[in-house]
Structure 1
């Protein structure tokens, strides 16, 4: 058997405390020594007296909060490490978010979940067994999305213009590049995770309005040397509230009459500060700004006769047309 340098021995000691102790699990110096030998596969010889001296140094150190429990003289001391960066409930939230994300492949999810479990003790990690079923439904492009997201975060932080290609699938499930396959340049403002997808919010230099793009449809993303200034008063939360189903369009003042039963739907969608006023005994009127788009039309149709658009007129006309087509589809001549 070989010998460990003191610094290596203390590092091993900290590793054992991190893995095997927490607020509900304490260890004596002898138990810590046995686990340390097990971790090192008995390749080195360590004496209990050395471990006790090391534990005393850790107890007196201001760099690690070692909990020492000794109820009565003559009984062995019990040691534990409890000052962890994440609470077990916070790790659970992280794991559930990763498990639910469509843009992460099943293999990457399992890898990430395994790493999260290493952020706590083995005993606490046993309570983090995944309760959300992981399906292999991740998008085909997910393997490169994580690298694209990293590049975009860097571009946003540095306020650097990006160059990229963008595309969509056609009816034959072929991915077709937009703009005749020519790269475009964009000022990236922010990233949003919405409806299980990452979206990049930004602006083309030749356009005034902001837009958002699906990150998994972006190819060959690279930073340019060109920088930009962020639009003044840009509020990402306000922008996302105005967008429905992540469709692009023109922003307009929106006025809608809803039945009272939908008040929680409106608060969930727009927040408690949104402007509403009572309209009779059983209805209220919503006033806000929104992106007029097919996504908003579809969202309004969800509520049927419980929601009536008052303004803008073009949105009212779009809903009329969509309702007419839906009626004709189900009340016209039966198909074959």
Structure 2
């Protein structure tokens, strides 16, 4: 019998069908494989299938067998297990910075890493439609370009905008370009931020990536950090609440013991907890004083109290008073 032009692709189609159609709950027999190959115009004998399966196993595909009345074959393990793929799908669909269109594209690609039956279970848990999503379709590629700039130690230029009351873009600096030295990208409060170092202010600042346009890598090295400056993204995100910056101060705060999890979640497990009395503990933290820091404190009501400094206590009282006056 004359061989078809697809005959040389037999082992590739065999691998494709095993990856797509089999898992621990869905198997194929050798006869199933021969029938499936015929759909691609490929003829095969049983012995050649056995040889190909052995070659695929040697290549690294984890093909297992299960014996009953027949010998059933299936892919027993993959690069990503099903629970891991579900986690990736959840991350994509919950990511506000990824647009609705790009979310669906990414999820479809994630589904391709599972068998077709497993992909159905992934698809059933997708609820992207009603999520709040970014509307800047270019953010996906902007993030990649910024990563490249950081890796290559280069500056970047971009335009930066806000939305006005009409929900229209209004560019800052009258649309002039920003030139910055990028040092990290941070995903905080469901948004992506570019963290940069400013030589002018001798400090770090950040920008929402979804509000950046016309991003270009500049053929100029980043501004070098001062000798005594070391950038630690974890420390930066701990002290800058929801990426709203302000003057940094060391504050001492007393918390009720029931809030220990909230404090550790915010500042990490390495933070030192000082016993105040049987019901309360205190922490000393370096934070950027801002309205979002005060809002974080306020959510705990009478279970939290700022102990120092006096300047921060005064600012917090003014913040509370301004809020109260809104209702008088």
The answer on whether the counterparts of 1:68 and 1:79 sit within 8 Å (CA) in structure 2 is: yes
Indicate yes or no: 2:245 matched with 1:244: no
SS of alignment partner, residue 67 of structure 1 = strand
How far does the alpha carbon of each residue in 1:264-319 deviate from its partner, in whole angstroms, 9 at most, with x for none?
A: 11111111211221112222111111111222122122222222112233321221
1:175 paired to 2:176: no
Tell me, yes or no, if the aligned pair for 1:10 and 1:54 is still in contact at 8 Å.
no
Residue in structure 2 matched with residue 67 of structure 1 by the alignment = 64
* Contact preservation (8 Å) 1:59, 1:67: no
Q: Under a length normalisation based on structure 1, what TM-score does the superposition of the two structures give? A: 0.88
- Counterpart CA distance in 2 for 1:50 and 1:5 is 19
Question: Which residue, 266, 269, 274 being the options, matches 1:269?
Answer: 266
Task: Tell me by how many angstroms 1:60 deviates.
Answer: 6.2
Supply the distance in 2 between the matched residues of 1:222 and 1:318 (Cα, whole angstroms). Answer: 40
Between the aligned partners of 1:30 and 1:4, the Cα distance in structure 2 is 22
Deviations 1:231-258 (A, max 9, x none): 4532211211111121012222121112
Q: What is the aligned counterpart of 2:127 among 122, 133, 153?
A: 133
- The answer for unaligned runs of 5 or more in structure 1 is none
Flag the 1:323–1:63 CA change in 2: closer, same or farther, 3 A.
closer
Question: Residues 131 and 230 (structure 1 numbering): CA distance in 2 closer, same or farther, change over 3 Å?
Answer: farther
Shift in alpha-carbon separation, 1:45–1:139, aligned structure 2, 3 A = closer
Alpha-carbon distance, 1:108 to partner: 2.0
| TM superposition shift of 1:190 | 1.0
- The CA distance in 2 between the partners of 1:153 and 1:241, in whole Å, is 22
Secondary structure of residue in 2 paired with 1:272: coil
Secondary structure of 1:82's aligned partner: strand
Equivalenced residue count is 323
In 2 relative to 1, CA 257–13 (structure 1 residues): closer, same or farther, beyond 3 Å?
same
Structure 2 unaligned spans of 5+? none
Aligned to 2:231: 234
Match of 1:110 in 2: 104
RMSD: 2.2
2:187 maps to: 193
TM-score, reference length from structure 2: 0.90
The 1-side partners of 2:149 and 2:288 are apart by 26
